[in-house]
Copies of this chain bind each other. A is one copy, B any other.
Amino acid sequence: MIINIKSNNRTELIDITNKVKKSVPTDFKNGLVYIFSLHTTGAITINENADPAVKTDILKTINKIIPWDDNFKHMEGNSAAHIKTSLFGQSEIVAVEEGELILGRWQDIYFCEFDGPRNRQVYIKLIN
């Protein structure tokens, strides 16, 4: 199954928790949900679902550690996005019990846009 996402900024954390929940059929009661970014400049992570300032702080910090321009050789000019993607990771796995995603109280699932704005695709697979 594919979740479609549209980003609006060069770097952006987009909450996809509800889209992931909707991709789990009601008769899937127990197992794992595999969530995979089909891109090399966009990652998946899990982080704070309450204060949006956390997203701002995460992006500000990672963009400072890995600046957009740094004499990169890759002609496309987006090497910073490739590096961030490998550090955040292209996939997450979330468990399901009694039909519910097992997440901590403050956890939501995010698509990490590191070279937007773009249309993105996240692949979902259920395992039980």
Contact = CB atoms under 8 A, between A and B. Distances in A.
A28 B14 CA distance: 34
A58 to B, nearest CB: 5
A22 interface: no
Interface residues of A, number: 54
Contacts of A70: 61
B90 A46 contact: yes
A36 interface: yes
Interface of A: 31-32, 34, 36-40, 45-48, 51, 53-54, 56-58, 61-62, 65-66, 70, 72-76, 79-80, 82-83, 85-95, 102-107, 121, 123, 125, 127-128
